[in-house]
């Protein structure tokens, strides 16, 4: 969990709220008025992340995402505003990244055993997914935002796992603001967003995880104030085939799992949805293309790359100035 740098101001109370969601847990650390209705805040936070999960989960057959996936090409599907917002931002980043971020790789995710259909790679399904030849999502999905509708122009399967958790953190932040909270750190798995500073005026200190499979250790610390951070990597969910370490993240352009030497990418942004999607895009793009893309988009990003038996860090923005590693 995030480590705070100092105690909150005496007039406010430090509380921690948390709960289960999306096969992981959400949490909020905040400095609040002692008179705040904590149960009401906890319930509102839980409802916000549950709404995201119900709309965007590929594991829930009745989710709005799965309704879109089952639709035939050319059929308009009415969707709630939350998933429409995520699809719109996802398609925008897909275009800006030239398909490095691609929410249309659901068939590949399932074929390699990282989705809801199976737990292990299936050779026949992989062949079918690779031969499918679908255009990227930003070319195959049309959104009619004013009407809250979407339609596919190809028989694609969409997967929002590279952006939905970040959006969930943004939704938690909105709930906190609606309840008058001005000092908070919201987290969902590896995605976090700071609302203001701590009540003491100090920024929130957050660990950057070392990309070592099988153990959780901090590689360094970054400070957040009104800022979001997200990390994508290949060290938690992966499949080992021979000497190849294959990530759960799919490269739609190659129709294969990411395998480019990048262990993790951490991105800072003003909103967590964007940080989440850009971290995924840069992981897929790889060291050289990813750094060029991050520079072009003026992103603050940290790449941790495997080079033989050591880690190599490459950073932009605040990561280039101070670094986080040892």
C-alpha torsion angle, residues 149, 154, 155, 157 (rounded to 10): -60
Give residue-wise pLDDT tens across range 75-118: 999 999 999 999 999 999 999 999 999 999 988 888 888 877 77
Number of domains in the chain: 1
CA-closest candidate to residue 81, choices 14, 10, 27, 145: 145
Give the residue numbers spanning the domain of 141: 58-152
Domain presence at residue 4: no
* Banded model confidence at residue 214, pLDDT cuts 50, 70, 90: low
Q: Is a pLDDT exceeding 60 seen at residue 5?
A: no
* CA gap 211, 226 in Å, rounded: 26
Is residue 242 one of the residues assigned to a domain? no
What CATH number is given to the structural domain containing 67?
A: 1.10.3980.10
Whether residue 77 lies inside any domain: the answer is yes
Cα distance between residue 139 and residue 153, in whole Å: 8
Assess contact for 278 and 101: CB atoms under 8 A: yes
Note whether residue 204 is domain-resident: no
The pLDDT score that the predictor gives to residue 8 is 47
Identify whether 64 is part of a domain: yes
Chain segment 280-300, per-residue pLDDT in tens: 999 999 999 999 999 999 999
Give the tens place of pLDDT for each residue, 8-46. 445 899 999 999 998 899 999 999 999 999 999 999 999
Angle between helical axes of 81-96 and 164-178 (0-180°, round to 10) = 130
Domain contains 198: no
pLDDT at 176 exceeding the cut of 50: yes
**Which of 283, 277, 279, 326 minimizes the C-alpha distance to 300?**
279
- Distance separating alpha carbons of residues 233 and 10, to the nearest angstrom: 39
What percent of the chain lies above the pLDDT cut of 70?
A: 90
Residue 63 is assigned to a structural domain of this protein: yes
């Amino acid at each position: 969990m995030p480590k705070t740098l100092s105690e909150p101001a005496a007039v406010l109370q430090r509380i921690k709220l948390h709960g289960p969601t999306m096969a992981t847990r959400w949490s909020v650390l905040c400095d609040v008025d002692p008179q705040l209705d904590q149960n009401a805040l906890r319930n509102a936070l839980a409802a916000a992340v549950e709404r995201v999960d119900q709309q965007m989960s590929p594991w829930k057959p009745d989710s709005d995402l799965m309704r879109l996936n089952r639709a035939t090409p050319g059929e308009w599907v009415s969707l709630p505003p939350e998933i429409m917002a995520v699809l719109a931002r996802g398609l925008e980043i897909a275009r800006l990244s030239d398909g490095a971020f691609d929410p249309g790789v659901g068939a590949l995710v399932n074929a390699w055993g990282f989705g809801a259909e199976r737990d292990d790679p299936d050779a026949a399904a992989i062949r079918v997914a690779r031969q499918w030849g679908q255009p990227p999502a930003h070319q195959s999905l049309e959104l009619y935002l004013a009407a809250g509708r979407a339609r596919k122009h190809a028989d694609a399967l969409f997967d929002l796992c590279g952006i939905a958790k970040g959006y969930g953190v943004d939704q938690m932040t909105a709930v906190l603001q609606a309840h008058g909270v001005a000092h908070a750190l919201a987290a969902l798995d590896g995605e976090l967003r700071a609302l203001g500073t701590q009540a003491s005026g100090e920024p929130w200190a957050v660990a950057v995880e070392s990309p070592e499979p099988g153990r959780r250790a901090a590689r360094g610390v970054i400070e957040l104030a009104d800022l979001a951070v997200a990390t994508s990597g290949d060290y938690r969910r992966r499949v080992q085939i021979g000497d190849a370490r294959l990530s759960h993240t799919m490269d739609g352009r190659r129709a294969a799992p990411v395998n480019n030497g990048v262990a993790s990418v951490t991105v800072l942004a003003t909103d967590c949805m964007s940080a989440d999607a850009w971290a995924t895009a840069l992981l897929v793009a790889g060291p050289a293309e990813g750094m060029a893309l991050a520079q072009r988009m003026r992103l603050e990003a940290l790449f941790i790359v495997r080079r033989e038996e050591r880690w190599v860090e490459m950073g932009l923005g605040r990561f280039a100035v101070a670094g986080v590693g040892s």
